[in-house]
C-alpha cells in the first residue's frame, strides 16, 4: 500500500488504475473534473448553516431565521417535532419552540440532509432507485456515526460526525449528477459483477467517488474534517498516516459505513464488508457498541426519512425493524455470494492461465520451450514484472530456463520469452528448494532459487520473490519464480486446488517434453551404436584375421626358422669345404633364400604384434618436408611430380616417429607403384589447422586407381593386386595397423583410372588422462 | 681317454687325486681337509674323505696352485636344442673347429644336469624347449655363483623384442636369431672364451 502522503499530487495518481486497458485515462479524468466544477453550489441556506456549525458563537436565533426564511423547511421542522412525539400539541408549535425542543444540531442536520441531496439531484429530475438508496445509506451512516461519536465522547463532536457521515458518499452523488448515464452503467456493473464500486469507477472514469467527493467538498468549501472523511473513508483503519488531521472521525465514519452496509441499509455500491474489529479497537469501542447503535438506528433515522418521504408508510418503527432484519439476512447471503464470486473469479483467472499455457505449448517443444510457456502464462496471471521457469536434473549443474518479462512501457510490446540453459556451477539441492513449501503451492521463494533469479531475472527487480514449485523429485526439479511488487499474488494463495491443476499441467508438459527429448536421444544413440556395432564387426573380422596371423606367424617363426637355420647352416658348412665355384654359387643362393623366407615370417610377426609406439608430439611439416625430399631421391621424382602442401606449418602430430615414417613410406610406395614413370603425380597435403583435435595427411595419386573389389581388400594382410610373387602385400595393411596403434585411422577412396586418395588421421596432441 | 682326463672330468675327488692335481703329498691334503681349510665330506658309513670340485677349485685359487691339472686345454661348449638337426649341425661345426669340447642336451632338465657335470664355458641355448623355456634355464644357472663365468648365447627363431629383453634380463649374454651366419656364431663363441 502506498503511503497516503504521496497521494496529494495529482488526481490520476491517487489510485494506480488496476486495469487501464481501454482509453487514455487522463482525458477522461479531465472531462469529469470539468463536469464536477460545473455542479451547482450549495444553497445559501445550507452554506450558512454549515458556517454556523463551524463557529461556536452561533445562536439559536440565526437558525430560527434561516428555517423561517424557507417555508418548506419550516413545514419539515414542524412535522419532525410532531412525529418525534415530544408531547407538544400542534397548536402551540412554532419554529422557535421546535428549535429549542429539538436542539440546534438536529435542526442543522435536518436541513443539510434535505439540501445537499436536493441540490445535486436537481439536474436529473427522475428519481432512480439507486439515488434514493444512496440517500438512505448516507442518512443511516450519518445517524450511526453520530451515535458512535456519542459513545466515543470527547474530543469527538457529536454534530460533526453526523455531517461527515451524511456527506461521506457525496462523491457518488456528484459523479451521478455529472454523468448520469455512465454512472448507471457503473451501478449496473457493480450489481452484475459484485465488484467494488471504487474499482469500477476507476476503470470507467479514471477516478472514484472518494476523489470526486473531495473535489466537490473543496469547491463547496466544506470544513477539513468533512473533506477527510469523504476522501479517506475506505482506507483501512491502520493505513491512515500521521498527516491525517482527524483520524478518529474518519474511522468513525468508516465504521458507521461498514455497519450500515453490513445491515444492508440503503445502497452503497460497495459489496465488500470489512472486518469491523480493527476499527472498533482503534476507536476504543467495545463489541457491544455496534449492536446497541444499530438497535437505536430506526428510531434515530425516522425523522429524517419522514421528512424525505412524508407519505412513506413503510417507515414506521415496526416495519423498519423487520426490514432491517430482512436486509441483514440479505446482506449475509450477499456476502457469501460475493466470496463465491471472488473464488470463481480466481479460478477463472487460473484456468485462463492454463489455457494460455496449453495454447502456447506444442508437440515439438523442448523442455526450455515448455519453461518459457509456463513463465509467460504465470507472469501474466500474477501480473509480475518478470517470471523465470526452470527445469532440470538435480544431479546436473545445468537447468533449462524460460524467462518472460512484462511489456516495456516505452516499447509497448510484450517481448518473446527467452529460452536458455544456464550453468549454476553446482547442482540444485532437491530438499533445499522447497523449504517447507510444497509442489503446486505458491510460496515465498527459497534462497536456493536466488542464483537462478540473479542470472535470469531483471537487473533490478522490485518486491518479493515468489515461487510455484512444479516438480521436486529425484531425477528432476522444476519451479516458476516471479517477483510481486504489490502483494497481489496473495489472493491466489487460497486457490490451492486450482494452482495444483495448473502445475500438474506444466509438469505433464515438461515430462512429455523430457520423454520426447530422451526418446530422440535414444534414437540417436541407437543409430550411433548401430554404426559402432557395424564398425566393431568389421574391426572384429579384421582383428580376428590379424590374431590368427599372429598366432600362425609366431608358431611359423619358430617352426620354420629352425629348418631354415639348418639349411642355411649346412650350406655354409659346405661352402667352407668345397671350392667348386658352381657349387659355391648354388650354396650362396640357398643361404640367401633361407634369409628371405625367414624375413617373410618375421614381417608377418611384426604385422600381428607391432612394437608399442613410443609417441612424441612433433611438428608435422618439418618431417613431411624431409620425407618428401627423401622420396624424390628414392623414387626419382621431380618436385612437380611429388608436391607437398601444408595448411599450417605449426600443426603438430602425436605419433611414434619411426612408425609414422613407415606408414607414410608404405603409402607413398604404393602410390608410386600405382602410377607409371613420367606421368607420376603425387600430392601430399595436410588441410588441418591448429584448432583441430586431429591432423589429416592426404596422399593423392593420379594412378590406375582401384576397382571396388580391390578397394575392399586393399587393407587385408597379404593381399596384393599385383601378380603373385611380387611383394608381400603387407604394406597397406601394416600401415593401417600402425595408424591404429598410434590412435589414428586410415582410409582409402579410389576411382579406377583416376587414382587413389589415402587419408591418414592422427591425434594432434597426447591424450590427457 | 687317459687317466688324467678322467680326473679332469670328475666332480668329486679322493684325497689321492687332490694330491695329484695339486702336486702335494696325500698327508698334506688330509691335514688341510681335517683342519677345515679344504672343504669336503666323508663317505657315509666309512671314513673316506671326499672333496667336491667346487671346493677344490676354491682351495687351489686360495693357495695359488695352478689349475692346469684340473682343466683341459679345450673350451667346453654345451648345445641345448630340441631340434636334432640343429644339434647335429652345431656338433659338426664345433668339432671341425677343433678347439671345443661339445656336449648336447635336448631339454632344459638335461641342460641343468650337464651344466653341473660338464661345467661348460659356453652354452648355446634355444629359447623354446620341450619342458622349460630358455629364460628359466638362464635364471637357474645364474642363481648358482659357481656358474657366473658361463657365457650363455641364446639362439632362437622367435624374435619377439619383449622376449629377447626378458632373456637378457634373466642372465643371457647375447641373442642370435635363426637362421644365422655360422662364421658369426663361431666368432661370437671364440670371443667369449678368448680362443683364437
In tens, the pLDDT along A292-339 reads 888 888 777 776 666 555 444 444 445 566 666 677 777 778 888 888
Residue B158 with chain A: CB contacts under 8 Å: 554, 557-558, 561
Residue in B86, B92, B161 nearest the CB of A573: B92
User: What confidence score (pLDDT) does residue A9 get?
Assistant: 36
- CATH at residue B19: 1.10.1660.10
Share of chain B above pLDDT 90, in %: 25
The grid coordinates listed for A179 are 454523468
pLDDT of the residue at A348: 87
Q: Is the pLDDT of residue A18 over 50?
A: no
| Range(s) of the domain holding residue A525 | 521-608
Q: How far is CA A6 from CA A14, A29, A166, in A?
A: 8, 19, 27
- A555 and A459 co-located in one domain: no
Partners of B128 on chain A (C-beta within 8 Å) are: 558
B41-65: pLDDT as tens digits: 998 888 899 998 888 888 888 888 8
Say whether residue B85 is in contact with chain A using an 8 A CB cutoff: yes
pLDDT for B58:
87
Cβ within 8 Å, pair A595-B179 = yes
Buried b (16+ CB within 10 A) or exposed e, A620-649: bbebbeebbeebbeebebeeebbebebbbe
Q: Which of A562, A570, A605 sits opposite B178 (nearest CB)?
A: A562
Tally of domains within chain A: 4
Chain A residues with beta carbon closer than 8 angstroms to that of B93: 569, 573
For residue B70, being part of any structural domain is answered with no
Contact assignment for B179 to A569 by CB distance below 8 Å: yes
Q: What is the pLDDT of residues B160-179, one digit of tens each?
A: 777 888 888 988 999 998 88
Q: How confident is the model at residue B23 (pLDDT cuts 50, 70, 90)?
A: confident
User: How close is the nearest chain A Cα to the Cα of B186, in Å?
Assistant: 12
pLDDT surpassing 80 at residue A622: yes
pLDDT above 70 as % of chain A: 75
* A427-441, A570-584, A741-755, B125-139: least confidently modelled range: A427-441
Q: Do A434 and A384 have their domain in common?
A: yes
Give yes or no: residues A733 and A650 share one domain.
yes
Query: Between chains, do A558 and B157 touch, taking CB under 8 Å as contact?
Result: yes
| Chain B residue nearest residue A607, CA to CA | B160
B181 touches chain A (CB under 8 A): yes
Q: What tens digit of pLDDT does each residue of A497-524 get?
A: 888 888 888 888 888 888 888 888 888 8
* Cell matching residue A598: 625367414
CA distance A756 to chain B (A): 35
pLDDT number for residue A84: 55
* Residue A263: CA count within 13 A, CB half-sphere: 25
Residue bearing the bigger pLDDT, B80 or A145 = B80
Tell me the CATH number at A743.
3.30.565.10
What is the rounded average pLDDT of the residues A418-425?
80
Same domain, A222 and A268: yes
Residue A516 CB-density burial (10 A; 0-12 exposed, 13-18 middle, 19+ buried): middle
pLDDT at site A86: 52
Measured between beta carbons, the chain A residues lying within 8 angstroms of B84 are none
Q: Do A561 and B181 touch (CB under 8 A)?
A: no
In a domain, A255, yes or no: yes
Task: Please indicate, yes or no, if residue A727 is contained in any of the structural domains.
Answer: yes
Q: Is A258 helix (H, G, I), strand (E, B) or coil?
A: helix
Domain termination site, one of A449, A475, A494: A494
Alpha-carbon gap: B89 to the closest alpha carbon of chain A (Å): 7
A573, A598, A605: residue with CB nearest B179: A598
Q: Does B92 touch chain A (CB under 8 A)?
A: yes
Same domain, yes or no: A117 and A246: yes
Task: Please check the confidence at residue A127 and state whether its pLDDT lies above 60.
Answer: no
Residue ranges of B 116-135 with Cβ closer than 8 A to chain A: 128
Distances (CA, A) of A684 to A304, A642, A644: 114, 8, 5
Query: Given B62, B87, B106, which residue is the final one in a domain?
Result: B62
Residue B111 lies in a domain: yes
Domain annotation covers residue B40: yes
Question: Which B-chain residues 33-52 have CB contacts (< 8 A) with chain A?
Answer: none
Rounded CA gap, A367 and A391, in Å? Answer: 7
Interface contact flag, A572 B128, Cβ < 8 Å: no
Residues B58 and B79 in one domain: no
- Could you tell me if A484 and A552 lie in one domain? no
Most confidently modeled range among A107-111, A264-268, A618-622, B172-176: B172-176
Query: Which residue from B minimizes the CA distance to A572?
Result: B182
Residue A720 has pLDDT above 70, yes or no: no
Q: What CATH number does residue A140 fall under?
A: 1.10.3210.10
Read off the pTM. 0.40
Answer yes or no: is A114 within a domain: yes
Q: Can you give the residue range of the structural domain that contains B165?
A: 75-193
A719 vs A582, more confident: A582
Q: Are residues A719 and A591 in the same domain?
A: no
Please check whether residue B159 touches A, CB under 8 A.
yes
Q: Is the pLDDT of residue A634 over 80?
A: yes
Q: Which of A608, A640, A675 is the last residue of a domain?
A: A608
Question: Which residue from A minimizes the CA distance to B127?
Answer: A558
Distance from CA of A601 to the nearest CA of B (A): 10
Chain B hits for A569, CB-CB cut-off 8 Å, are 86, 89, 93, 179-180, 182
- pLDDT band (50, 70, 90) for residue A50: low
Chain A residues within 8 Å of chain B (Cβ atoms): 554, 557-570, 572-573, 594-595, 598, 602, 605, 609, 611
pLDDT band at A239 (very low <50, low <70, confident <90, very high): low
What's the whole-number average pLDDT of chain A? 76
A705 in the same domain as A650? yes
Chain B: give the shortest CA distance to residue A594, in Å: 7
A602 with B89: Cβ contact below 8 A: no
Smallest CA-to-CA distance from A17 within A172, A211, A206, A270 is with A206
Which of A456, A478, A494 terminates a domain? The answer is A494
CA separation for the pair A91, A481 (Å, rounded): 79
Which residues have a Cβ under 8 Å from the Cβ of A291 and sit 6 or more positions away? none
Write down the pLDDT at residue B196: 42
| Count of domains forming chain B | 2
Tell me how far apart the alpha carbons of residues A349 and A210 are, in angstroms, rounded to a whole number: 29
Burial class (CB in 10 A: 0-12, 13-18, 19+), B152: buried
Residue B67 lies in a domain: no
Confidence of residue A24 (pLDDT cuts 50, 70, 90): low
* B93–A569 C-beta distance less than 8 A: yes
The CATH number of whichever domain residue B113 belongs to comes to 3.40.50.2300
B78 pLDDT above the threshold of 90 = yes
Tell me: the pLDDT tens digits for A730-769? 678 888 888 888 988 888 888 888 888 888 888 888 887 6
Average confidence (pLDDT) over A664-668: 88
User: Of all residues in chain B, what percent carry a pLDDT higher than 70?
Assistant: 94
Of A683 and A85, more confident: A683
Predicted local distance difference test score (pLDDT) of residue A620:
84
Is A499 among the domain residues?
no
**Do A592 and A654 fall within a single domain?**
no
Cβ count within 10 A of residue A650: 11
Range with lowest mean pLDDT among A41-45, A119-123, A374-378, A715-719? A119-123
| Residue B79 and residue B56 share a domain | no
Cβ A163 vs Cβ A112: under 8 Å: yes
Q: Count CB pairs under 8 A between chains A and B.
A: 64
Chain B interface mutation, best of A565, A578, A598, A601, highest count of B Cβ atoms under 10 Å: A565
A372-405 pLDDT tens trace: 888 888 888 888 888 888 888 877 778 888 888 8
- pLDDT band at residue B195 using 50, 70 and 90 as cut-offs: low
Cβ contact A558–B183 (<8 Å): no
- Confidence tier at A16 by pLDDT (50, 70, 90): very low
State the pLDDT confidence band at A56, using cuts at 50, 70 and 90: very low
Shared domain for B99 and B38, answered yes or no, is no
Chain A residue with Cα closest to B92: A573
A399 and A304 within one domain: no
Distance CA A616, CA B114 (A): 49
Model confidence at B133: pLDDT above 80: yes
Amino acid at each position: 500500500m502506498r503511503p497516503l502522503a504521496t497521494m496529494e499530487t495529482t488526481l490520476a495518481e491517487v489510485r494506480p488504475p488496476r486495469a487501464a486497458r481501454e482509453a487514455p485515462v487522463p482525458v477522461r479524468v479531465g472531462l469529469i473534473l470539468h463536469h464536477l466544477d460545473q455542479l451547482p453550489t450549495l444553497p445559501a441556506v445550507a452554506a450558512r448553516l454549515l458556517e454556523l456549525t463551524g463557529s461556536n458563537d452561533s445562536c439559536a436565533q440565526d437558525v430560527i431565521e434561516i428555517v423561517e426564511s424557507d417555508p418548506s423547511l419550516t413545514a419539515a421542522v414542524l412535522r419532525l417535532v410532531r412525529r418525534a412525539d415530544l408531547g407538544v400539541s400542534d397548536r402551540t408549535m412554532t419554529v422557535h419552540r421546535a428549535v429549542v425542543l429539538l436542539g440546534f444540531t438536529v435542526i442543522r442536520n435536518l436541513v443539510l440532509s434535505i439540501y445537499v441531496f436536493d441540490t445535486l439531484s436537481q439536474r436529473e429530475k427522475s428519481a432512480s432507485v439507486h439515488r434514493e438508496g444512496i440517500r438512505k445509506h448516507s442518512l443511516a451512516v450519518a445517524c450511526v456515526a453520530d451515535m458512535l461519536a456519542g459513545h466515543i465522547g470527547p474530543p469527538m463532536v457529536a454534530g460533526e460526525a453526523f455531517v461527515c457521515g451524511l456527506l461521506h458518499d457525496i462523491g457518488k452523488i456528484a459523479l451521478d449528477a455529472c454523468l448520469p448515464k455512465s454512472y448507471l452503467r457503473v451501478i449496473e456493473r457493480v450489481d452484475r459483477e459484485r465488484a467494488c464500486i471504487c474499482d469500477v469507477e476507476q476503470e470507467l472514469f479514471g477516478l472514484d467517488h472518494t476523489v470526486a467527493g473531495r473535489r466537490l467538498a473543496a469547491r463547496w468549501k466544506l470544513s477539513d474534517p468533512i473533506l477527510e472523511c469523504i476522501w479517506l473513508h475506505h482506507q483501512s483503519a491502520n493505513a491512515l498516516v500521521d498527516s491525517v488531521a482527524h483520524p478518529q472521525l474518519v474511522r468513525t465514519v468508516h465504521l458507521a459505513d461498514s455497519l450500515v452496509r453490513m445491515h444492508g441499509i440503503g445502497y452503497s455500491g460497495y459489496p465488500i464488508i470489512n472486518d469491523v474489529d480493527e476499527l472498533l479497537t482503534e476507536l476504543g469501542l467495545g463489541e457491544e457498541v455496534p449492536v446497541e447503535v444499530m438497535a437505536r438506528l430506526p428510531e434515530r433515522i425516522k425523522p429524517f426519512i419522514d421528512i424525505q418521504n412524508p407519505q412513506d408508510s413503510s417507515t414506521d418503527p415496526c416495519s423498519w425493524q423487520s426490514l432491517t432484519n430482512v436486509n441483514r439476512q440479505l446482506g449475509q447471503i450477499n456476502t457469501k455470494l460475493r466470496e463465491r464470486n471472488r473464488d470463481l473469479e480466481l479460478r477463472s483467472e487460473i484456468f485462463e492461465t492454463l489455457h494460455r499455457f496449453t495454447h502456447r505449448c506444442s508437440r515439438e517443444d523442448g523442455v526450455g520451450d515448455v519453461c518459457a510457456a509456463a513463465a509467460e502464462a504465470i507472469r501474466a496471471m500474477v501480473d509480475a514484472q518478470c517470471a523465470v521457469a526452470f527445469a532440470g536434473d538435480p544431479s546436473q549443474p545445468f537447468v533449462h530456463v524460460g524467462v518472460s518479462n512484462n511489456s516495456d512501457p516505452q516499447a509497448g510490446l510484450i517481448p518473446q520469452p527467452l529460452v536458455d540453459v544456464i550453468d549454476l556451477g553446482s547442482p540444485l539441492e532437491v530438499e533445499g528448494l522447497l523449504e517447507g513449501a510444497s509442489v503446486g503451492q505458491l510460496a515465498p521463494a527459497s534462497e536456493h532459487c536466488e542464483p537462478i533469479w540473479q542470472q535470469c531475472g531483471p537487473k533490478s527487480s522490485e518486491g518479493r520473490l515468489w515461487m510455484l514449485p512444479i516438480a521436486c523429485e529425484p531425477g528432476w526439479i522444476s519451479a516458476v519464480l516471479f517477483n510481486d511488487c504489490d502483494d497481489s499474488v496473495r489472493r491466489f494463495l487460497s486457490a490451492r486446488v486450482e494452482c495444483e491443476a495448473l502445475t500438474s499441467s506444466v509438469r505433464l508438459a515438461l515430462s512429455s517434453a523430457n520423454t520426447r527429448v530422451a526418446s530422440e536421444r535414444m534414437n540417436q544413440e541407437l543409430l550411433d551404436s548401430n554404426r559402432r556395432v557395424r564398425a566393431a564387426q568389421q574391426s572384429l573380422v579384421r582383428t580376428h584375421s590379424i590374431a590368427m596371423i599372429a598366432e600362425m606367424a609366431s608358431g611359423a617363426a619358430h617352426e620354420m626358422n629352425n629348418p631354415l637355420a639348418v639349411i642355411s647352416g649346412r650350406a655354409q658348412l659346405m661352402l667352407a669345404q668345397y671350392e667348386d665355384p658352381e657349387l659355391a654359387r648354388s650354396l650362396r643362393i640357398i643361404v640367401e633364400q633361407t634369409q628371405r623366407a625367414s624375413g617373410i615370417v618375421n614381417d608377418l610377426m611384426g604385422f600381428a604384434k607391432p612394437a608399442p609406439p613410443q609417441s612424441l608430439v612433433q611438428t608435422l611439416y618439418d618431417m613431411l618436408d624431409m620425407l618428401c625430399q627423401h622420396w624424390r631421391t628414392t623414387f626419382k621424382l621431380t618436385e612437380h611430380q611429388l608436391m607437398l602442401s601444408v595448411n599450417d606449418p605449426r600443426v603438430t602430430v602425436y605419433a611414434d616417429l619411426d612408425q609414422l615414417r613407415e606408414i607414410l613410406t608404405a603409402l607413398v610406395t604404393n602410390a608410386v607403384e600405382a602410377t607409371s614413370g613420367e606421368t607420376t603425380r603425387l600430392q601430399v597435403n595436410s588441410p588441418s589447422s591448429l584448432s583441430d583435435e586431429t591432423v589429416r595427411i592426404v596422399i593423392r595419386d593420379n594412378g590406375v586407381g582401384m576397382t571396388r573389389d580391390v578397394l575392399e581388400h586393399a587393407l587385408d594382410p597379404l593381399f596384393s593386386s599385383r601378380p603373385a610373387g611380387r611383394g608381400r602385400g603387407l604394406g597397406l595393411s601394416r600401415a593401417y595397423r600402425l595408424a591404429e596403434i598410434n590412435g589414428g585411422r586410415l582410409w582409402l577412396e579410389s576411382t579406377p583410372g583416376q587414382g587413389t586418395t589415402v587419408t591418414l588421421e592422427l591425434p594432434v596432441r597426447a591424450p590427457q588422462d | 681317454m687317459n687317466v688324467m682326463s678322467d680326473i679332469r672330468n670328475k666332480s668329486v675327488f679322493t684325497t689321492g687325486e687332490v694330491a695329484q692335481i695339486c702336486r702335494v703329498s696325500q698327508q698334506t691334503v688330509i691335514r688341510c681337509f681335517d683342519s677345515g681349510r679344504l672343504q669336503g665330506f666323508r663317505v657315509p658309513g666309512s671314513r673316506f674323505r671326499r672333496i667336491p670340485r667346487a671346493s677344490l677349485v676354491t682351495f687351489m685359487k686360495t693357495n695359488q696352485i695352478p689349475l692346469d691339472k684340473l682343466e683341459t686345454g679345450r673350451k667346453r661348449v654345451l648345445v641345448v636344442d630340441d631340434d636334432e638337426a640343429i644339434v647335429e649341425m652345431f656338433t659338426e661345426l664345433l668339432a671341425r673347429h677343433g678347439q671345443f669340447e661339445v656336449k648336447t642336451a635336448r631339454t632344459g632338465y638335461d641342460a641343468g644336469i650337464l651344466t653341473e657335470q660338464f661345467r661348460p664355458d659356453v652354452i648355446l641355448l634355444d629359447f623354446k624347449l620341450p619342458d622349460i623355456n630358455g629364460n628359466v634355464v638362464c635364471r637357474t644357472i645364474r642363481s648358482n655363483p659357481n656358474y657366473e663365468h658361463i657365457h650363455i648365447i641364446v639362439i632362437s627363431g622367435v624374435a619377439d623384442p619383449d622376449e629377447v629383453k626378458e632373456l637378457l634380463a634373466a642372465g643371457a649374454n647375447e641373442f642370435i636369431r635363426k637362421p644365422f651366419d655360422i662364421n658369426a656364431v663361431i666368432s661370437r663363441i671364440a670371443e667369449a672364451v678368448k680362443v683364437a
